[in-house]
Structure formats: structure tokens, C-alpha cells
Structure 1
């Protein structure tokens, strides 16, 4: 049995306390940028669509050592539109649709570290749920 390169995961398993959008930006293709190309936005290898990086804050204090920021890439013809902020705040809760994870090894530094790359097919305002994610 072959294991898929991108492993489907439930949003609730990756972000049990939810997630909040910090920003959306074009994913930069560093090889194109170094070559001096005009269009330096990264493209999806399967569809050819532009890739967008959605930066989110994970409010779970024990989830990730060192940083609460997580980046999730999305392929879309136009920049994804984020949900409206919660009333009276700047916080934009988000739920990712079609979330996948790809494990990889980050060998930049004194020792190799396990890392994860996240992709999603869409995003939306969170549905009403129970448990920790609704808190």
C-alpha cells in the first residue's frame, strides 16, 4: 500500500482550539525570484493555479513549541477571502476545508527537525461546534 504524499486530516485534529487568520499573501517562489522573473508567485504543481499562504494563529498554548503561527497554503485563481471578524474584535476565526498535511524534515540548522506543511482546498467561518474548539 502506498501512502499518499499529502495526508488528509480533520481540521479539529490539527486545530482543536480553532484558528484565527493573521493574513493572506501570495506564496513566493524563491527560485523564480532569484532568477529575476516578473511573476514570482508560486504555482500549484497539479493545477497550475496560483498558491496563497494563509497565516493563522493557533490559540492552543501547548500545540507548537516556539511559535503560535501556522501557514496553510491554498491553490486558487484569486486571493481567498477571509471570514468576517468577531463582533467588536479584530479576530477572524477560520476553518479550513480539505485540509492535508505533508511531513518533511527541516535540516536547516544544527540538527534535523520534523516539520509539517499544510494545504487546504478552501476556508470558511467556523461552524458551531461543541467542546474545546467552540470555547
Structure 2
């Protein structure tokens, strides 16, 4: 059995209560930062494309953490959707979502972590906002 490095997941399974964009920033390559390189943005090892971190709010009351990052590849930063009228919330749908489990050994004891990646993000349509079971 071949297990992929990145495991594909459905948006609805990972974010059953939806997801909201808090911001988009360039992902830093900390080795480049330590070396004092001018362009410190991380690049994908396979494609060489720039990596962007999308800060996401997960409103699920039983979520492990309320804020997480989803990385997206591209030469230009992904554009967050407009906020819902009268609110600061920017609902989003991630396409081609995958998860990469890893073990974090930087603390006093190892812990399980997850890295998230998406192919693209797009705004949710009105049907999706009113009924999470209906795709936009």
C-alpha cells in the first residue's frame, strides 16, 4: 500500500463549520533568514513556487486550535475574499486541501502536528453561507 506524503481531505470534513481568512503573508524560509539572504520567502522543494501562508479562523467549538495556517503555492499572493456585509468575517473555501502529519520534537516532549496545504482558495457563495451542506 502506498501512502501519500500529503493526504487529501475534503474541505467539509476539515472545516465542518466553515473557515474565515484572517490574513495572507509570505511564508519565511528560516534558513534564508539566518543566512541574511535578501529574498527570504520559502519556496516549494518540488516546483520552486513561492509559498504563502493563509491565516485561518476555524469556528468549530471542538477544534484543536481556533487559528491555523493553510499554505498555498503561487508566484503572487492569493487574494482574500471580501468580508461579509456588516462583519469582519471573510468566508473562504479551500480547493485541493491536503494534510501532512508530522512529529514536532522542539519541546520537552514530542507532539503530533499537522501542516495544511491547498491548491487554491475562493470565496463562498451565498448558498454555502446559509447552508453548510450545499456547495457554492
Same fold? TM cut 0.5? yes
Runs (5+) with no aligned partner, structure 1 = none
Q: 2:111 aligns with which of 104, 107, 113?
A: 113
Aligned match of 1:52 = 52
1:2 to partner: Cα distance: 1.4
Deviations 1:45-81 (A, max 9, x none): 12111100000000012111xx310100010110101
CA distance in 1, matches of 2:10, 2:67: 19
SS where residue 60 of structure 1 aligns?
A: coil
Shift of 1:126: 1.9
Contact 1:17 1:132 (C-alpha < 8 Å) held by counterparts: no
List alignment gaps of at least 5 residues for structure 2. Answer: none
Cα pair distance change 1:109/1:12, threshold 3 Å: same
1:31 maps to 31
Indicate the RMSD between aligned Cα atoms, in angstroms.
1.6
TM-score by length of 1: 0.92
For residue 133 of structure 1, report the CA deviation from its aligned partner.
8.6
Aligned residues between the structures? 132
Q: Deviations over 1:81-126 (max 9, x none)?
A: 1111000111101110000000001112122111110000100112
CA 133–108 in structure 1, closer or farther in 2 if over 3 Å, else same: farther
Contact 2:18 2:132 in 1 (8 A): no
For 2:134 and 2:25, the matched residues in 1 are separated by 26
Matches of 2:5 and 2:132, distance apart in 1:
31
For residue 78 of structure 1, what is the aligned residue in structure 2? Answer: 76
Q: Are the structure 2 counterparts of residues 62 and 133 from structure 1 closer, same or farther at C-alpha, using a change threshold of 3 Å?
A: farther
Could you tell me how far apart the structure 1 residues matched to 2:59 and 2:9 are? Answer: 19
